[in-house]
Structure 1
Amino acid sequence: MAVDLVEDAGFDVVDVASAAEAVLVLESRPDIRVVFTDVDMPGGLDGMRFAATIRDRWPPIELIIVSGKRRPQADEMPARGVFFAKPYKKHEITAAMRRMVG
């Protein structure tokens, strides 16, 4: 599971159930530097629209987008967003996160 992967790499995790909940967290947590999202999310906002919302409202936040069903087209990806197809390699995700946080 993604939460375990991120925690095992030494990062703090805020786990949410939907994009709407994530937006509420982002509004109250200016310390968040990376968001990890799936293209297919529960609720009314899919992962690509969620990523676009983050890019518009919180430009400094880095984005990792994953999917086991479809690969987004280049023009769908937000600036600086990084995509990984499932099943992804854990070391690739953690390496990307380390680069993102410097």
Structure 2
Amino acid sequence: MTIAPILLVEDDFLIRTMLATYLRLRGGFTVIEAETAPDALAVIDAQDDIAILLTDIRVPGELDGSGIAARARRKWPDLPVVYVSGYAKAPGGSTPEGKRDSYIAKPYEPSTVLKRVRFILGQA
């Protein structure tokens, strides 16, 4: 079974690169990286499918992580979103253990994100 790529939206180069590499090497996932909201929207427009959106809440561009998620859900209504942030609280209605929306506070261990992704995809 082929799993659609993960879209990782993170403006901090080191965090984005580290997490993407970890998810690729330890999780075996395809990860598409986006630095800004416009980058993320371009990926959303170009992709046929996304397994999960991992997004910082604060990203450069007109939209924040919640806005990016809303745009992605116009295309994929049931898309799971994992919000990661050290600056903002989880968006209203998200639950840490949910399969649709969840929140991970920075700083985090990459293994925490991988566990959450596997849980959401039913690989736990």
Contact kept? 2:85, 2:104, Cα under 8 Å: yes
Out of 13, 35, 45, the residue aligned to residue 17 of structure 1 is 35
Q: How does 1:1-102 map to 2 (within 5 A)?
A: 1=15, 2-8=19-25, 9-75=27-93, 77=94, 80-102=100-122
SS at match of 1:74: coil
- Residue 4 of structure 1 deviates from its aligned partner by 2.2
Q: CA 1:30–1:101 in structure 2 vs 1: closer, same or farther (change >3 Å)?
A: farther
Contact kept? 1:33, 1:60, Cα under 8 Å: no
SS at match of 1:30: coil
Contact kept? 2:83, 2:90, Cα under 8 Å: no
TM-score (normalizing by structure 1): 0.81
SS at match of 2:117: helix
Q: What CA RMSD, in Å, does the superposition of the two structures yield over aligned residues?
A: 2.1
How many pairs are equivalent?
A: 101
d(CA) in 2 for partners of 1:60 and 1:27? 16
* Aligned-partner residue type, residue 86 of structure 2: G
Structure 1 residues not aligned, in runs of 5+: none
The answer to which structure, 1 or 2, has the higher relative contact order (CA under 8 A, 6+ apart) is 1
Aligned-pair identity (%): 30
Quick check: which one's helix share is greater? Answer: 1
